[in-house]
Amino acid sequence: MATNGITTADLNSCIIKGRVDDDTIVLIVLERDGSINRMGDGSTSPADRTLYIGVQREPLFDSLMEAVPEELLQLPAARVEFPDRRGTDCTLSITFGLSDGTARTYEAVFGSESGAPGDLHDIYQRALALTEPWWKDQPGRA
């Protein structure tokens, strides 16, 4: 069932959360107004689990939206569990906040050796790359 009419212009926030088993290994929040939050680097090795919060002048949200296929937004919110997953269970969820106050979450459960599905993986990788310089520059980071 398609949900017609939503485009990236209708979005004002994006929350990306990666978990391995029940451990959150990365959290990234980008908003159209420049707000940025990030915790973790997506690795399972012991890492900085501090949530850094700030505002960025660069249009990171708009840059992230370039990686969001409009076709994805035409699908209803969904959670997909891949039955043939190999390795440790991983969950990648991406929640888009719409300008009307509603939200839409796309979530995939996959295996660490199977890999995340294409569109969600691409959005996640783009968010990591866009926020990496800001995250590494935070005071107190080891």
- Please write the tens of the pLDDT for every residue from 84-132: 889 999 999 999 999 999 999 999 999 999 888 889 999 999 999 999 9
CATH number of residue 91's parent domain? 3.30.1560
Strand-pairing partners, residue 36, are 30, 54
Residue 105 in domain: yes
Q: Number of structural domains, the chain?
A: 1
Alpha-carbon distance 142 to 5, whole Å?
44
In a domain, 29, yes or no: yes
The answer to whether position 2 is within a domain reads no
Convert the pLDDT of each residue in 24-80 to its tens digit: 999 999 999 999 999 998 887 766 788 999 999 999 999 999 999 999 999 999 999
Assess if residue 3 is contained within a domain.
no
At 8, the pLDDT band (50, 70, 90 cuts) reads very high
Q: Is the pLDDT of residue 140 over 90?
A: no
CA distance 77 to 75: 7
Q: What domain range includes position 130?
A: 8-136
In a domain, 1, yes or no: no
